[in-house]
Structure 1
Amino acid sequence: MAQVVHRGRWTLEDRADGFYRELPVEVPDGAGALTVRLAFDRSAGVLDLGCFGPDGFRGWSGGARDSFTITPGWATPGYLPGPLEGGIWHVCLGLHRVPAGGLEYEVVAEAGIGAPPAPPNAPPPPTVPARPPRRDLPAEPGMRWLAGDLHSHTVHSDGALTVDELASLAAAGGLDFVAVTDHNTVSHHPALAAAGRRAGVLLLPGQEVTRDTGHANAFGDIGWIDFRRPAADWLTETERRGGLLSVNHPLANDCAWRHPMPRRPRFAEIWHWTWQDRRWGGPLAWWLAWDPDVIPLGGSDFHSPAQGRPLGAPTTWVQCPGDDVLAGISAGRIAISSGRDAPLVLRVGDEIVVHGGDGTYLVNPDGGRRVVFGDRRSFRANPGPYRLESSDNSVIALVA
């Protein structure tokens, strides 16, 4: 067993000089497993944890874990299994929060020679519940509206559910798709297709590219995006590989969007779960100030049922051909509602169609208002976004 220990104290000066720090670990040829343990006072600060091998990225768990194991056949969620190439590996720490007095830490890395340890027991897939009936919604020829959530997490980052458990929860809520966007990793991608088939839900591969100055969702089976690079590179590389990049929760606490972007992404998560009082015009004002041509998306940022952020709240609706949700998003055929069964405003051809909006205001792209009478009403559409508002000016639904 080869062991390497790093100990020290991170200071405010260290945090100012560079967010990411890499600690070298020599892994001998023939190693069957690499286990890393991180210790620090979690009541005093926050350190993120990840790993890079000689051939590149091998995993990330941020502040969600204090240890991980990588073997040829299995790895801790968030990390990539595969051969352990001999040479210098690096444990990557992110100095997310360092107190004024500094933060002591210890990293112990052990590389075992020979047969790897047995993997931990995985829970069996949950029983798939009955799905609620789909809503009967008008769509353009060859299209249909699918209901989903574009922001969710599993045990592969800081979520509480396995991929199968997340898919089962989506089916119970009547969702057609969920983008699984674990932080700075793609270790969940191999599990998505099978879990989605079992639950009858389309699980979209994604990753939440995460820095202390803002997060973005990269959608598509495009491989890992290097979060250490500038955000402009996230956009360029995601698009080069055929994916879509969306700015996440631009108005938030310490993860609000503060990245300079010479060229702006086409998408932004305008409706995030934190928009609880929708009389507050901040998200709409940010959208108009950032770029009114940006296509709005919605996401619950689901982590755990215990947090009180329901999966699918808000619900993003995508009008798409068959199951090609990413094609529908790319084309901007997007509507957002507070939930799967909440009032809706849809763009269908040259019409705006309101469902369940009796007694609401339909707000036009120019800010003009009209009162909606009846459960289903259609109006001639103009270019630009529409929204439904209640009598107290709360936003109820959006359509791009």
Structure 2
Amino acid sequence: MCDDDHTTTAMGRRALFVTGAATALTLSGVSFASAADGRTPADGTQTTRTVKGTLPPGAPDFVYVPVEVPQGVREVRVAYTYTKATVPAGTQNNALDIGVFDERGTALGGEGFRGWSGGARSEFFVRADDATPGYIPGPVRAGTWHIALGPYTVAPGGLPYELTVTLTYGEQGETPKPVYPPSRAKGRGRAWYRGDCHLHSWYSDGKRTPAEIAALARAAGLDFINTSEHNTHSSHAHWADQAGDDLLIMLGEEITTRNGHVVALGTDPGTFVDWRYRARDNRFGKYAREVRRAGGLVVPAHPHATCIGCNWKFGFGEADAVEVWNGPYTPDDEVSLADWDNTLVASARGTREWIPAMGNSDAHRDPDRVGGPQTVVLADDLTREAIQAGIKAGRSYVAESKAVELTFTASGSRGEHAGIGERLAVDPDAPVTVRLEVRGAPGCTLHLVTDQGTLFTAPALPDSGAGSAEWHTTAAYAAYVRAEVRHAPAVPGLPGALAAFTNPVFLGA
């Protein structure tokens, strides 16, 4: 049985301009009146309302549309459309994200959060026993729910939108008890483990299932991965079947703000971290601490990416590591690498903690390559805690694929020895020998980089892809040394794309 009484409500510019300086705005609500005799409609009865409006340029980051949900509802379903405009060259067109909060409200912290799909879907549903990927199954309780609209970009003529809300009445199903992947896999003891910590499935804007991603991770030679859906933890309960002795699956989120993205790496299962703030709101520190309280690492992602809202504006004071290389190597990765390198001098002299670098694929769909690049971590075992400890200590290097392997060490004349992420404690003028060995990088050149820049370059590797380089220095001459393995330049005079790079070895007591 279906109630076809569609109510259309226009929501124009005036309401928005009244509070246009705010970062969020709640509009007038959508009401679903209960039956006049007080009885709950029969099972299967559907009631639909339609809401139309236009968001003006300068609209708040988030616009909430309240929906009054009566007793007896088993499913909330929302579909939406919006209009693309004709805009002048160089002007951003309309883009509108969407999500939903239940009767517990929209306050920061996410107690009422029930899902987010950004711009990846045109409709979603929430029930007790199921939900659209990106959304959280659970009881549909009576009260005021809120559809969250996120006007990502608004054309000069405004962003016309239409929401269609359908409630289905009936007995609610049983909410499944979530099952999460284990926090340990069968490791090799203290060893080098390969991983990709920035991946997207169909639980946000990716196109691959968890099973497809896990198969690609194994094919890429990975030992661990980290889930990182945009602004939702809905995938956490859907990875357990893909874990195994050969693959550790950690759980996280890509916290996608309007001033940059950050990967919450290896949080406790079921952890949701809010994203509804900008750098000017001075709230990021609170949520970074929330990530760490949940057992995760804070990793700013693609800090110099050119997509709107992707450039990192929050500073690195809360970072446990930084994603320097994201997907296929591009000029913004080169900028991120140089920017990160510039932070190492202060750390070399002990004036502040240094921030290790890592690399991830950010793979969403074909032909995105899972494990391209991958972070290779020296860890005590293949567990969440051990992998995180290796990443945070900087005991890692980044490689374009499983084919590339390297070892990088520094040693002193008295038997002192240090590896990647460590400090070689020697006197300033004591001789230091730096050695790099590489496999799987045919035609690439080996570079040793210090606080002065690149001070040593070896000839290109032979077709076998194997070779080594040795360089002699002192702590007085080089505060740190790190290695880069680069392909031949595609453009004369510019550096070639990375095949691999290491975190530094610091020199000096």
Whether the TM-score (by the shorter chain) exceeds 0.5 is yes
Aligned partners of 2:388, 2:240: CA distance in 1, in Å? Answer: 15
Aligned counterpart in structure 1 of residue 260 of structure 2, from 208, 214, 218:
214
SS at match of 2:499: strand
SS at match of 2:206: coil
Aligned partners of 1:171, 1:370: CA distance in 2, in Å? Answer: 34
Deviations 1:321-355 (A, max 9, x none): 22122232233222101111125344696245522
1:155 alignment counterpart: 202
**Greater Cα offset, 316-325 or 348-357:** 348-357
Is the 8 Å Cα contact of residues 328 and 373 (structure 2) preserved in structure 1?
A: no
Cα distance change on mapping 1:219 and 1:106 into 2, 3 Å: same
2:303 alignment counterpart: 250
Instruction: Give 1:144 deviation, angstroms.
Output: 1.0
Instruction: Give 1:118 deviation, angstroms.
Output: 12
Work out the percentage of aligned pairs sharing the same amino acid.
30
Aligned counterpart in structure 2 of residue 314 of structure 1, from 367, 373, 392:
373
Aligned partners of 1:175, 1:276: CA distance in 2, in Å? Answer: 23
Aligned counterpart in structure 2 of residue 275 of structure 1, from 329, 333, 354:
329
Aligned counterpart in structure 1 of residue 64 of structure 2, from 9, 22, 25:
22
Instruction: Give 1:143 deviation, angstroms.
Output: 1.0
Cα distance change on mapping 1:384 and 1:5 into 2, 3 Å: farther
**Greater Cα offset, 29-38 or 338-347:** 338-347
2:418 alignment counterpart: 350
Q: When the two structures are superposed, what TM-score results if normalisation uses the length of structure 1?
A: 0.84
- 1:256-295 aligned at under 5 Å gives the runs 256-261=310-315, 263-276=317-330, 281-289=334-342, 293-295=354-356
Is the 8 Å Cα contact of residues 139 and 172 (structure 2) preserved in structure 1?
A: no
Is the 8 Å Cα contact of residues 345 and 398 (structure 1) preserved in structure 2?
A: no
SS at match of 1:256: coil
Counterpart residue identity of residue 324, structure 2: I
Instruction: Give 1:149 deviation, angstroms.
Output: 1.1
2:273 alignment counterpart: 225
SS at match of 1:188: helix
2:458 alignment counterpart: 371
Is the 8 Å Cα contact of residues 436 and 483 (structure 2) preserved in structure 1?
A: no
Cα distance change on mapping 1:42 and 1:186 into 2, 3 Å: farther
Aligned counterpart in structure 2 of residue 195 of structure 1, from 205, 219, 242:
242
Deviations 1:280-316 (A, max 9, x none): 84122221346662211101110011xx321111111
Cα distance change on mapping 1:192 and 1:109 into 2, 3 Å: same
Deviations 1:159-192 (A, max 9, x none): 0111111111111222212211110000101112
Question: Is it true that 1:81 corresponds to 2:137 in the alignment?
Answer: yes
Aligned partners of 1:337, 1:116: CA distance in 2, in Å? Answer: 49
Is the 8 Å Cα contact of residues 128 and 174 (structure 2) preserved in structure 1?
A: no
Cα distance change on mapping 1:171 and 1:389 into 2, 3 Å: closer
Q: CA RMSD in A?
A: 2.9
Aligned partners of 1:371, 1:189: CA distance in 2, in Å? Answer: 45
1:302 alignment counterpart: 363
Question: Is it true that 1:323 corresponds to 2:357 in the alignment?
Answer: no
Aligned partners of 1:353, 1:191: CA distance in 2, in Å? Answer: 41
How many pairs were matched up?
372
**Greater Cα offset, 34-43 or 72-81:** 34-43
SS at match of 2:221: coil
Query: Gaps spanning 5+ residues in structure 2: where?
Result: 1-45, 86-92, 105-111, 176-187, 278-282, 346-353, 411-416, 420-434, 490-494, 504-509
Counterpart residue identity of residue 268, structure 1: V
Instruction: Give 1:101 deviation, angstroms.
Output: 0.6
Counterpart residue identity of residue 227, structure 1: W
Aligned partners of 2:404, 2:331: CA distance in 1, in Å? Answer: 16
Aligned partners of 1:270, 1:59: CA distance in 2, in Å? Answer: 29
Cα distance change on mapping 1:281 and 1:162 into 2, 3 Å: closer
**Greater Cα offset, 227-236 or 204-213:** 227-236
Instruction: Give 1:75 deviation, angstroms.
Output: 0.5
Instruction: Give 1:76 deviation, angstroms.
Output: 0.3
2:82 alignment counterpart: 40
Q: Which has the larger radius of gyration?
A: 2
2:157 alignment counterpart: 101
Aligned partners of 1:109, 1:196: CA distance in 2, in Å? Answer: 37
Aligned partners of 2:143, 2:408: CA distance in 1, in Å? Answer: 56
Q: When the two structures are superposed, what TM-score results if normalisation uses the length of structure 2?
A: 0.67
Deviations 1:260-286 (A, max 9, x none): 3383312111011253369x8412222
SS at match of 1:175: coil
Aligned partners of 2:128, 2:134: CA distance in 1, in Å? Answer: 15
Deviations 1:80-139 (A, max 9, x none): 0011121111110110011111111111222221146999xxxxxxxxxxxxxxxxxxxx
Cα distance change on mapping 1:345 and 1:95 into 2, 3 Å: farther
Cα distance change on mapping 1:95 and 1:347 into 2, 3 Å: farther
2:52 alignment counterpart: 7
Question: Is it true that 1:67 corresponds to 2:123 in the alignment?
Answer: yes
Query: Gaps spanning 5+ residues in structure 1: where?
Result: 120-140
Is the 8 Å Cα contact of residues 387 and 396 (structure 1) preserved in structure 2?
A: no
1:234 alignment counterpart: 287
Aligned partners of 1:240, 1:36: CA distance in 2, in Å? Answer: 34
Instruction: Give 1:48 deviation, angstroms.
Output: 0.4
SS at match of 2:243: helix
